[in-house]
């Protein structure tokens, strides 16, 4: 889980095959990056539900005040 002393990373630094934790607009999720999907998007697999969708769907409404992104 996230460490409050760490800085949040930028989503353009995500890499295929790595696992990440995301908190945004009060919702949290952990996911695995499966592949790139265009220039600024990624195909991801939710580690809890095992659903596959685009990272852009998670940040569709922008970055909230609570935005946190960490590699786990």
Which sequence spans correspond to the domains of the chain? 26-63
Which residues, in sequence order, are CB contacts of 43 under 8 Å at separation 6+? 33, 34, 35, 36, 37, 52, 53, 54, 55
Mean pLDDT of 67-71: 93
Closest by Cα among 19, 43, 16 to 69: 19
Tell me how far apart the alpha carbons of residues 24 and 53 are, in angstroms, rounded to a whole number.
Answer: 17
What the block records as the tokens of 63 is 């970055």
Record the pTM.
0.85
Q: Which position has the higher pLDDT, 7 or 51? A: 51
What pLDDT sits at residue 4?
56
- Interval 26-63: pLDDT, tens: 999 999 999 999 888 999 999 999 999 999 988 888 88
């Amino acid at each position: 889980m996230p460490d409050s002393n760490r800085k949040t990373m930028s989503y353009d630094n995500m890499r295929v095959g790595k696992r990440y934790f995301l908190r945004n607009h009060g919702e949290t999720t952990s996911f695995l990056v499966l592949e790139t999907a265009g220039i600024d998007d990624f195909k991801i697999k939710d580690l809890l539900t095992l659903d596959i969708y685009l990272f852009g769907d998670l940040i569709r409404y922008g970055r909230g005040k609570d935005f946190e992104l960490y590699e786990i």
